[in-house]
Amino acid sequence: MSSKGFAPAKAGLRVGVVGAGVMGSNHARVLAGLPGVSLVGVVDPSPAHLTRTTELASCQGFETLDQLLAEGVDAVTIAAPTHLHHEVALACIARNVHVLVEKPIASTVAEGREIVAAAQKAGVTLMIGHVERFNPAVAAVKQAIAGEDILSIAITRVGPFPPRMSNVGVVIDLAVHDIDLIRWFTESDIVEVQPQLSSAVAEREDIALLQFRTANGVLAHINTNWLTPFKARSVTVATRGKYVMGDLLTRQVTECFGFKPDGSYSMRHLPVGHDEPLRAELIAFLKAVRNGETPAVTGDEGVASLEIATQCLETPSRPAATSSARKGPRRVAG
């Protein structure tokens, strides 16, 4: 960033996309339509993916990252498979290219920290693509609870098994979104993790019930699975003065307030914007690049959310107290 002696990048930014799958093709589509941006091209080893995306975004296609970097880019967005994030991000940072990395930042916390350290050393902007923060319904919930004493948060993120998913389970694919939201809503770190996981149908966990406590005392719960035949995404936040409900798909946010001793209360629907979350995210990234600002979702925040998700996968479930009861007949004192 500019504080390291690097001048903010010029207004007309040359941007590339690494990865031409579902997410990468959407990145390319949005970037191609942004003012002040020149989409240099998209990288993907798959000719089919590359053809589809280059036609969609009217840009060049490259088989390798080196070919894209040789064209000269100011910034890239990395939407390649997670296990490639570390290698691709470090290669771009080594060329002083600003980077947006899709969530999760990397496959491991150690790799994530290496990316953060490299970006800091090079003085380049590193932003993590936790796109749900840019969902207008999430923004409305965040605004509604600003300054409130938050007591609890419950998030549901369920749906059918995604055919594209192979190397991770629901915690890394889905729950990492909500771990980030819990940290963002509470502006606090998660200090306690109580996961319950099950692999009902898939090889990796496809059901997760996750409970958390934050450093400032908020209790939070995430319910996520790949067994529900339809998508559902909801957030509820209880504070001392309000109860806020948000549907992240229909983008309806409702606030209950003015609680009376007789049990009555008032209710209102909150205004919610219509922005496409990915477009808002990419605009925020490019603004941070141009102005040398701290990005909306920092590398450290990306690592923190991955660290909690990893803890959920590594924390053994504790057996109920009854399992330690002595076996055999009980002696009756008499």
Please state the domain extents for the chain.
11-123, 130-274+298-312
pLDDT at site 12? 86
Give CA–CA dist 40/59, Å, rounded.
7
Q: Is 152 helix (H, G, I), strand (E, B) or coil?
A: strand
Q: What are the angstrom distances between the C-alpha of 250 and each of 158, 226, 254, 272? A: 15, 20, 12, 10
CA 190 remoteness from chain centre: 16
Contacts of 300 (CB under 8 A, 6+ apart): 116
Q: Is 272 helix (H, G, I), strand (E, B) or coil?
A: coil
pLDDT at site 321? 64
Contacts of 267 (CB under 8 A, 6+ apart): 254, 255, 256, 257
Residue 97: other Cβ atoms inside 10 A:
23
The domains spanning 11-123 and 130-274+298-312 adopt the same CATH topology: no
Superfamily of domain covering 130-274+298-312: Dihydrodipicolinate Reductase; domain 2 (3.30.360.10)
DSSP codes joined into one string, 36-72: TEEEEEEE-S-HHHHHHHHHHHT-EEESSHHHHHHH-
Give CA–CA dist 309/108, Å, rounded.
10
Residues, the chain: 334
Give CA–CA dist 244/254, Å, rounded.
6
Residuewise pLDDT in 10s, the chain (334 residues): 333 433 444 448 999 999 999 999 999 999 999 999 999 999 999 999 999 999 999 999 999 999 999 999 999 999 999 999 999 999 999 999 999 999 999 999 999 999 999 999 999 999 999 999 999 999 999 999 999 999 999 999 999 998 765 678 999 999 999 999 999 999 999 999 999 999 998 889 999 999 999 999 999 999 999 999 999 999 999 999 999 999 999 999 999 999 999 999 999 999 999 999 999 999 999 999 999 999 999 999 999 999 999 999 997 766 666 544 444 544 445 4
Number of H helices, E strands in the chain: 10, 14
Strand partners, 257: 242, 266
Torsion sign over Cα 86, 90, 92, 96: positive
CA 323 remoteness from chain centre: 38
204 is written with which tokens?
């990796």
- The letter for the amino acid at 175 is A
Query: CATH assignment of 11-123?
Result: 3.40.50.720
pTM for the full model? 0.90
The backbone torsions φ and ψ at residue 147, rounded to the nearest 5 degrees and listed phi first, read 80, 0
Parallel, antiparallel, or unpaired for β 13-18 and 75-78?
parallel
pLDDT at site 168? 86
